[in-house]
Amino acid sequence: MAKKPPAAGRGMATRLRTAEGRSTASQRWLTRQLNDPYVKAARERGLRSRAAFKLLEMDERLKLLKPGMRVVDLGAAPGGWTQVAVKAVGARGQVVAIDILPMDPVPGATVLQGDFQEQEAEERTIAAMGGKADLVLSDMAPNTTGHTSTDHLRIMALAEIALDFARRVLAPGGAFAAKVLQGGTEAEMLAVLKRDFTTVRHVKPPASRKDSAEMYVVATGFRG
Ligand SMILES: C[S@@+](CC[C@H](N)C(=O)[O-])C[C@H]1O[C@@H](n2cnc3c(N)ncnc32)[C@H](O)[C@@H]1O
C-alpha cells in the first residue's frame, strides 16, 4: 500500500544556507527538493526516485500490479518504478526495464540501456522478455527545452512509441500506462486506446506535482 508521505508545509521549511553561484532556477529546484515530503519518503524507503510514489499511488487506485506478472518499464532510470514493480510481481514475475541513460542494476529486474525510439532497442527488450507482457509502463520523458509546444510534441511522440510497442507485446487482458501531458492524449491516440482496450482513464496521481502538466493515461483490458 502506498502510505502517504507527510504533508509539506508542516514544521520549518529547509532554506538553502548559501545561494552563491546558483542560478535562480537551480536554487528554486534545490529548495523544492529539500522541502518535498516525497523526496524525503523515497530516501527513507530506499526508493531511487520520488516518481516511485506515482506508480504506487496509481497501483493502489487501479490495481495494476499483481504477483507473477511480466512487466516492461520504459524510461526506467533511475529505477524507482522498477523497484516498485519488482517487489509487486515477486519471484514468479519478471520485470524488464530500459532507459536511454545508464541505470544501476535493480535486483530481480533485467535492466537494458537503449534509445527506445530505435528499432534495435525495442528488439532487445522483446528478446529479454520470456513471453507476452501483462503490463507495459512508460514514464519516458525527454529533457525539456522550455518551448512548450516542442516539449509537448516530444513527450507525446514517446507515448505513441510506447503504445505501439504495447499493442505488439501485450497479452490479452494486459494493461498500459504512460506519461502524457495535460489535455490528455491526442484524439488519434485516444481512438486507438479505446479501440484496443476495454477501459481508458487519465490519472494525475497526488505525487505528480500540481504545477506540472504531466499526467498518465492508463488503459486496461487489452483486447489482443
Ligand atoms: C521521469 S524519468 C523516469 C523515472 C522513473 N520512472 C523512476 O521512477 O525512476 C524519464 C526517463 O525517460 C528516459 N527517456 C527519455 N527518452 C528516452 C528514450 N528515447 N528511450 C529510453 N528512455 C528515454 C529518460 O532518460 C529518463 O530517465
Q: Tens place of pLDDT for every residue, the chain, 224 residues?
A: 455 554 544 445 665 555 566 677 788 777 877 788 999 999 999 999 999 999 999 999 999 999 999 999 999 999 999 999 999 999 999 999 999 999 999 999 999 999 999 999 999 999 999 999 999 999 999 988 888 888 889 999 999 999 999 999 999 999 999 999 887 677 889 999 999 999 999 999 999 999 888 999 999 999 99
Residue 35 CB contacts under 8 Å (≥ 6 apart), including other chains: 8, 13, 14
Nearest residue (CA) to ligand 1, atom 11? 75
CA 18 – ligand 1 centroid, Å: 31
pLDDT at 8: 43
Q: Which atom of ligand 1 is nearest to the CA of 54?
A: 8
CA 89 – ligand 1 centroid, Å: 21
Determine the CATH number of domain 52-222.
Answer: 3.40.50.150
Residue 133 CB contacts under 8 Å (≥ 6 apart), including other chains: 70, 71, 72, 166, 169, 170, 171, 174
pLDDT at 201: 96
How far apart (Å, rounded) are the C-alpha atoms in residues 211 and 213?
7
pLDDT at 13: 60
> CB–CB of 196/223 below 8 Å?
yes
Q: Which atom of ligand 1 is nearest to the CA of 118?
A: 19
Residue of 40, 87, 179, 194 with catalytic role: 179
In angstroms, the Cα distances linking 132 to 37, 166, 174 are 37, 10, 9
Which protein residues are within 6 Å of ligand 1, measured from CB? 48-49, 51-52, 75-81, 99-101, 115-117, 139-142, 158
pLDDT at 9: 42
Which one of 136, 139, 153 would you pick to mutate in the ligand 1 pocket, going by the greatest count of ligand atoms within 8 A of its CB?
139
CA 20 – ligand 1 centroid, Å: 31
pLDDT at 75: 98
> Torsion over CA of 66, 182, 118 and 175, rounded to 10 degrees?
20
How far apart (Å, rounded) are the C-alpha atoms in residues 83 and 86?
5
Which one of 55, 87, 113, 140 would you pick to mutate in the ligand 1 pocket, going by the greatest count of ligand atoms within 8 A of its CB?
140
Neighbouring CB atoms inside 10 A of 143's CB total 7
The identity of residue 176, as a single letter, is F
How far apart (Å, rounded) are the C-alpha atoms in residues 192 and 64?
20
**What is the DSSP annotation of 82-110?**
HHHHHHHH-TTSEEEEEESS-----TTEE
- Cβ-based burial of 208 (10 A; exposed 0-12, middle 13-18, buried ≥19): buried
Nearest residue (CA) to ligand 1, atom 8? 80
How far apart (Å, rounded) are the C-alpha atoms in residues 206 and 4?
9
The identity of residue 201, as a single letter, is R
Domain boundaries, the chain: 17-46, 52-222
pLDDT at 4: 56
Catalytic-residue membership of 66 = no
> CB–CB of 180/157 below 8 Å?
no
pLDDT at 149: 84
pLDDT at 146: 82
Nearest residue (CA) to ligand 1, atom 24? 75
Q: Which atom of ligand 1 is nearest to the CA of 117?
A: 19
